[in-house]
Amino acid sequence: MTHRTNNTYTFMALTLVCSLLVWALGTGPASAELTIRITEGADSAIPVAVVPFAENGGIPAGDKINSIVQDDLAMSGEFRTLSPEKMLSLPSKRSEVYYRDWRLLGQRYVLVGQLSRNGDRVEARYELLDVNREERILGESAAVSVGNMRTLAHHISDKVYEAITGVPGAFSTKLAYVTLDTAKGEPRYRLQVSDVDGKRARVRLESKEPILSPAWSPDGKKLAYVSFETGKPAIYIHELGSGNRTKVADFRGLNSAPAWSRDGRSLLLTLSKDGNAEIYRMDIQSRNLKRLTNHWSIDTEGVWDHSGEGIFFTSDRSGGPQIYHKSSETAEPRRITFGSRYNARPRPDSQGDYVYYVHQRNGGFHIARTDLSNGEETVLTRTASDESPSLAPNGRMLIYATKHSGTSVLTVISADGGAAYSLPATEGDVREPAWSPVIR
């Protein structure tokens, strides 16, 4: 686990979202002793009190900063938050905090802050306090335009998360997913992008035919996906800013499972133009293809590993689908999963520690992970129709699709399988979640 210096904090704050003006107030970083490694999810959740921010006039009505921050932290599975009704006082700055009160309530950290209006911008000044040590571990002022209060709240969540765990938060990132609405008879597939809490959703593509496998470009500005809008599967790249779309693969047979390279210049694709499902690398600029697998079995769901040199993929060359790894484009594939007869759709973390995938056991489909250092497999979910795992860019949370009484919903868990949090379904089914990288 890494520990960040004060300078790193300032740098990260300044390079965050362009609509967000941020400057550090000169505070200490999370010290080594405070860095907590969460291993048990809900059981070891850290108690944090997020006190309602004081408002100094002109603050738009609507969702409150403290409740958005509270929900973000709870969603991670690593924190337990305190309802404001149970608080003994509602301080808005460090000088108003009586640590004894918060110790009585069993809290480890307290977040206090205030909001003020300055022209068309709202400024938050906030401080995170360590109750046991009675000291401030984070203090910052950040401003957004009046319409972006949620952006400000997610930014604060990121800073609090990082100050306590030593790992950058992922609450300012986005989710892409596909909803299916069959209420009016004809199916409507909608590719949507929302905040990580499901709010501020916007439809990016609507179709009567299936949309599958959205994949974020590494800069978070584009999505690649599979759309059946022509009656056959084809792969498109969609620029989110302009809405421009380019069809990049429309070969005979399958065109599926797009995954971006680290530099954003190439895509892994599954094509069957040469006979059966094989994995290819396409240079996006030139559209040149290089075939990376060659086997009579199904090879699909290719994704680059943490090094950017090798790939994980699904193949049924052993009889049923299993996860394989090639350490380079030309290396021999090595089988990774052995725990059951169905393991598919690998999603490696960015450290090279784990690979996450869909795992069948006792007739049900769950999300599992394998520790790449020793091959040990852990099943992370207990529901029976779990699909499409996607990791947050900080590797600490994982979103997947599952079924609740026949309807497809999205669920977030901590990446070690701790507490689960379901995202509110909008309309109909919601599936195919893809967690964005940190958007630059």
What part of residues 232-291 is at the interface with another protein (CB under 8 A)?
A: 232-233, 253-254, 256-257, 270, 272, 276-277
Q: What's the token pair of residue 118?
A: 């300055």
Pick out residues in 201-230 that bind another protein (CB under 8 A). Answer: 210, 212-213, 228
Cβ contacts of 164 within 8 Å, gap of 6 or more? 30, 34, 36, 46, 48, 79, 109, 128, 137
- CA–CA gap between residue 226 and residue 380 (Å, rounded): 28
Residue 301 found at the interface with another protein (CB under 8 A) = yes
Chain residues 306-335 in contact with another protein, contact rule CB under 8 A: 314, 316, 320-321
CA–CA gap between residue 179 and residue 184 (Å, rounded): 14
Tokens for 228, please give them: 């059946």
Q: What is the dihedral of CA 337, 343, 344, 347, to 10 degrees?
A: -50
Q: How far is the CB of 360 from another protein (least distance, A)?
A: 7
| Binder among 388, 394, 402, 436 for another protein (CB under 8 A) | 388
Write down the least CB distance from residue 304 to another protein, Å.
16
Cα–Cα distance, 180 to 232 (Å, whole number)? 18
Contact (Cβ atoms closer than 8 angstroms) between residue 52 and residue 84: yes
Binding another protein by CB under 8 A: which of 44, 207, 261, 385?
385
Give the residue, chosen from 28, 251, 403, 421, that forms a contact with another protein under the rule CB under 8 A: 403
Task: Out of 432, 433, 436, 438, point to the residue binding another protein (CB under 8 A).
Answer: 432
Among 344, 392, 397, 413, binds another protein (CB under 8 A): 344
Among 337, 360, 381, 411, interactor with another protein by CB under 8 A: 360
CB of 297 to another protein, least distance (A): 9
Question: Cβ closer to another protein: 121 or 232?
Answer: 232
What tokens does 44 get? Answer: 């070891």
Instruction: Tell me the closest approach of the beta carbon of residue 249 to another protein, in angstroms.
Output: 13
Q: Are 62 and 149 in contact (CB under 8 A)?
A: yes
Q: Which residues, 6 or more positions from 362, have their beta carbon under 8 angstroms from its beta carbon?
A: none
Cβ 174 vs Cβ 194: under 8 Å: yes
In angstroms, give the least distance from the CB of 176 to another protein.
15
Q: Which stretch binds another protein (CB under 8 A): 28-36, 134-142, 231-239, 330-338?
A: 231-239
Alpha-helical runs (H) found in 46-113? 65-75, 99-104
Residues near 249 by beta carbon (within 8 Å), at least 6 away in sequence: 234, 235, 255, 258, 269, 271, 282
Place of tokens 């959205």: 214
Task: Using alpha carbons, select from 249, 178, 248, 261 the residue that is nearest to residue 219.
Answer: 261
Among 175, 387, 412, 423, indicate the residue that binds another protein (CB under 8 A). Answer: 387
CB of 334 to another protein, least distance (A): 19
Question: Which range binds another protein by CB under 8 A, 25-33, 163-171, 239-247, 383-391?
Answer: 383-391
Under the binding rule (CB under 8 A), the answer on residue 378 touching another protein is no
C-beta closer to another protein: residue 151 or 343? 343
Q: Which residues bind another protein (CB under 8 A)?
A: 210, 212-213, 228, 231-233, 253-254, 256-257, 270, 272, 276-277, 298, 300-301, 314, 316, 320-321, 342, 344-345, 358, 360, 365, 385, 387-388, 403, 406, 432
